[in-house]
Amino acid sequence: MPGRRPLRRSAAGAIVAILAAIVLAADQFVKYLTTENLPLQEPVPVLGEFLQLYYVRNPGAAFSLGSDVTWIFTIALAVVAGVIVWKAFGLHSRLWAVVLGCLLGGVLGNLTDRLFRDPGFPMGHVVDMISMPWMMPAIFNVADIFIVTGMISVALLVVLGLRFDGTRERDHVLVETDEEAEAAALAEEAGTDPHPDVARPDGASPDAPAPASDGR
């Protein structure tokens, strides 16, 4: 952000690690409460049809797609987590640190299920419990919320041109108006200096004739 010093790598890494740990802990705690207190595959209304708790064990992706290839999702989650950790070592941006920390926590939440829940490593079923029938038929969990919002945030930061080092794309691009571009092109054709207002290192005017040689 303008006017703010970029983060040190150690500080950015700490933000990523702390947020990831918080999200992972919150996700696993909610899943623990779900498995201990909710009946399997029975809706429990919270706010009528707006919000329900519906405990299911999902072997696949959204809508239980890919239920027969659970191990593929385990590998995919592990790869995503590895990429985020790798990128975290080069961060100098607070926003990127926050976004990647939350995203990493969500990924680790579901990856933990894949690795350690029944029916066993690496085919574990993900515990889902949040249902909003009025909006979509999918049932999701806390980790899914952070994964989706994290991916949307990543897309927004890319569109806004914010780099991992805390600078923006426009800080690295020379921006000129159409008039400036046209004047520069005409000056180049005429063989004159397109920036006459820029002083030369020796202090002479750009239009001043070169000093005559004394013959030595």
Condensed to tens digits (0 to 9), the pLDDT of residues 7-48 reads 787 899 999 999 999 999 999 999 999 999 999 999 999 998
Domain spans in the chain, listed from the N-terminal domain onward: 9-171
Check whether 210 has a pLDDT greater than 90: no
Answer yes or no: are the C-beta atoms of 109 and 124 closer than 8 Å: no
DSSP string, 64-129: GTTGGGHHHHHHHHHHHHHHHHHHHTT---HHHHHHHHHHHHHHHHHHHHHHHSTT-TT-PPEEEE
Percent of the chain past pLDDT 70, that is, above it, reads: 73
Confidence of residue 1 (pLDDT cuts 50, 70, 90): very low
Query: Could you list the active site residues?
Result: 128, 144
